[in-house]
């Protein structure tokens, strides 16, 4: 069972409610381009979670034999597991902001310059793998089963989701012990005083104990110090990996090529910075405020908004068939459908930036996804070649291709401003 298949609907309902409220009140909390990018990144991440789940159950299943005992699933043992998970996550999260390789796995989540529930689904493709690979295995050796650890990690993720909002202000006494949106807004802030603060996800006490707590005072400026300036989810996810790789290749010393990945953020190999650059860096303030920020917007194809809105809904339906493990699909089937999803979200990024390659790629991915879904569901005995499902899929693909072909032109572009 993939627990994410059950959590995803809850996340989407909360996101939809906040989005509707923001549109109705016109409070400027949502940007169309950023929201589509967040949803696309989240959709891609759900496909990656399929592979992560397989890894966790296989490796953790082997590891579980070395546990001295098996802890039963009672209400109190699960509560203790939640607290332990939260404590371990604090250190994993802190490592994600201080060590190069972990920041590479975490940075995509912070790359949005907005703060709303859609940012909560802007998840890195690699972060969950790193969490299970380097940190959560301790819980298995304590005696918790792989199923309990994997499920609690998902519950813990859901607990942290509602923090990604600006609609909830301060919560009084609750903030003394538990993480709130106010605390997490600080964590996403690039203001100098907010950087590397409030790592906790459930209990804020960890930040207070270990000296990383910061209260929300100045208006928060969201983003990272070197924003990606693109809507391409692949570049967003691998921007920092690329930077590390380029430095590793260019480093003149072999030891620096290796230790670069495990050094603190900002460290660079010897010989890649001249003395003047180092002097400037020593006196440079890291971060910036809301007044200093220049948010990234791009020209997009005219009519992109209604088209992508419909495609997001269709993409979520396609995702449901891909990740729901109650569906009688083989691993190859899910791999093929996941490939279609990644083509889809890359294409969305091209449409949002009015790239010349976006139209042919969108047509190609529509054909691929339509054909893949028809073949996969037919082979699984869920639909028939001549059934109504095949007709509906064909109509959706055909109408989408016609819309893209006649409505998207490089000479007809529009500016994108906040939608809500």
Residue 413 in contact with residue 299, Cβ under 8 Å? yes
What is the 3-state composition of the chain as percent helix, strand, coil, each rounded to the nearest 5?
Answer: 60, 5, 35
Residue 392 in contact with residue 373, Cβ under 8 Å? no
Q: Which pair of structure tokens corresponds to residue 255? A: 């030891």
With b for 16 or more beta-carbon neighbours within 10 A and e for fewer, the 218-240 pattern comes to eebbbbbeebbebbbbebbbbbb
Q: Which pair of structure tokens corresponds to residue 116? A: 């709303």
> Pairing state of beta strands 413-414 and 300-301?
antiparallel
**More confident site: 282 or 206:** 206
Neighbours of 391 (CB within 10 A): 10
**More confident site: 366 or 1:** 366
**pLDDT for residue 277:** 54
For tokens 């949002």, the residue is 352
279 pLDDT exceeds 60?
A: no
**pLDDT for residue 336:** 95
Residue 417 in contact with residue 297, Cβ under 8 Å? yes
In sequence order, the β-bridge partners of residue 263 are none
Query: Torsion angle, CA of 319/320/322/326, rounded to 10 degrees?
Result: 170
Q: Which helix (H) or strand (E) holds 345?
A: helix 331-352
Whole-angstrom Cα distance, residue 44 to residue 49? 9
**pLDDT for residue 419:** 57
Whole-angstrom Cα distance, residue 342 to residue 314? 14
238 pLDDT exceeds 50?
A: yes
213 pLDDT tier (thresholds 50, 70, 90): very high
**pLDDT for residue 375:** 93
**pLDDT for residue 1:** 54
Lowest-pLDDT choice from 101-105, 113-117, 190-194, 283-287? 283-287
303 pLDDT tier (thresholds 50, 70, 90): very high
276 pLDDT exceeds 50?
A: no
Whole-angstrom Cα distance, residue 110 to residue 101? 15
4 pLDDT tier (thresholds 50, 70, 90): low
Q: Which pair of structure tokens corresponds to residue 416? A: 């994108």
Query: Torsion angle, CA of 14/17/23/26, rounded to 10 degrees?
Result: -80
Gyration radius of the chain over CA positions:
23
pLDDT tens string 140-184: 999 999 999 999 999 999 999 999 999 999 999 999 999 999 999
In sequence order, the β-bridge partners of residue 300 are 414
**More confident site: 325 or 125:** 125
Q: Which pair of structure tokens corresponds to residue 5? A: 């298949």
**Nearest to 180, CA basis, from 191, 169, 190, 188:** 169
Helices (H), 188-303: 205-210, 233-250, 254-259, 275-282
**pLDDT for residue 274:** 54
Q: Is the pTM of this model over 0.95?
A: no
Residue 50 in contact with residue 323, Cβ under 8 Å? yes
pLDDT tens string 331-378: 999 999 999 999 999 999 999 999 999 999 999 999 999 999 999 999
How close are the terminal C-alpha atoms of the chain, in Å? 37
Q: 342 Cβ partners below 8 Å, 6+ apart?
A: 44, 47, 234
Helices (H), 124-232: 127-134, 137-142, 146-161, 181-187, 205-210
**pLDDT for residue 116:** 97
Whole-angstrom Cα distance, residue 70 to residue 53? 21
User: What residue ranges in 186-235 does DSSP mark as E strands?
Assistant: none
pLDDT tens string 79-120: 999 999 999 999 999 999 999 999 999 999 999 999 999 999
262 pLDDT tier (thresholds 50, 70, 90): very high
Rounded to whole angstroms, the maximal C-alpha distance in the chain is 71
Tell me the pLDDT of the chain averaged across its residues. 92
Using DSSP's 3-state secondary structure scheme, residue 389 falls into helix
Neighbours of 361 (CB within 10 A): 18
Q: What angle do CA 336, 338, 342 make, to 5 degrees?
A: 120
- Please report, rounded to a whole number, the percentage of residues in the chain having pLDDT higher than 70: 95
For tokens 């910061």, the residue is 214
pLDDT tens string 12-66: 999 999 999 999 999 999 999 999 999 999 999 989 988 888 888 889 999 999 9
Task: Give me the sign of the Cα torsion angle 333, 337, 342, 346.
Answer: positive
Residue 88 in contact with residue 139, Cβ under 8 Å? yes
In sequence order, the β-bridge partners of residue 414 are 300
């Amino acid at each position: 069972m993939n627990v994410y298949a059950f959590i995803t609907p809850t996340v989407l309902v909360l996101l939809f409610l906040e989005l509707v409220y923001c549109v109705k009140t016109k409070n400027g909390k949502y940007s169309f381009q950023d929201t589509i990018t967040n949803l696309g990144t989240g959709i891609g991440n759900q496909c990656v979670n399929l592979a992560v789940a397989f890894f966790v159950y296989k490796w953790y299943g082997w590891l579980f034999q070395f546990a001295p005992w098996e802890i039963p699933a009672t209400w109190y043992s699960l509560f203790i597991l939640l607290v332990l998970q939260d404590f371990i996550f604090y250190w994993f999260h802190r490592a994600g902001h201080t060590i190069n390789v972990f920041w590479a796995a975490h940075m995509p989540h912070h790359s949005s310059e907005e703060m709303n529930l859609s940012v909560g689904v802007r998840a890195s493709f690699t972060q969950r793998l790193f969490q299970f690979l380097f940190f959560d295995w301790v819980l298995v050796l304590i005696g918790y089963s792989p199923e309990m650890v994997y499920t609690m990690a998902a519950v813990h993720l859901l607990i942290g989701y509602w923090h990604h909002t600006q609609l909830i202000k301060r919560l009084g006494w609750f903030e003394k012990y538990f993480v709130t949106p106010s605390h997490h807004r600080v964590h996403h802030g690039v203001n100098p005083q907010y950087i590397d603060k409030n790592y906790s996800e459930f209990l804020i006490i960890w930040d207070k104990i270990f000296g990383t707590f910061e209260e929300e005072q100045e208006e928060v400026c969201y983003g990272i110090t070197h924003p990606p300036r693109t809507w391409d989810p692949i570049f967003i996810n691998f921007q920092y990996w690329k930077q590390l790789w380029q430095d590793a290749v260019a480093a003149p010393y072999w030891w620096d090529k290796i230790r670069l990945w495990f050094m603190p953020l900002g460290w660079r190999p010897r010989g890649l910075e001249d003395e003047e650059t180092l002097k400037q860096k020593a006196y440079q303030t890291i971060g910036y405020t809301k007044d200093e920020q220049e948010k990234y917007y791009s020209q997009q194809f005219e009519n992109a908004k209604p088209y992508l809105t419909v495609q997001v809904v269709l993409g979520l339906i396609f995702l449901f068939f891909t990740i729901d493990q109650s569906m009688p699909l083989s691993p190859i089937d899910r791999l093929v459908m996941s490939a279609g999803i990644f083509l889809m979200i890359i294409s969305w990024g091209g449409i949002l930036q009015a790239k010349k390659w976006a139209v042919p790629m969108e047509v190609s991915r529509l054909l691929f996804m339509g054909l893949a879904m028809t073949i996969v569901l037919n082979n699984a005995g869920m639909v028939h070649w001549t059934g109504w499902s095949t007709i509906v899929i064909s109509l959706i693909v055909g109408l989408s291709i016609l819309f893209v072909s006649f409505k998207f032109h490089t000479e007809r572009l529009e500016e994108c401003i906040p939608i809500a």
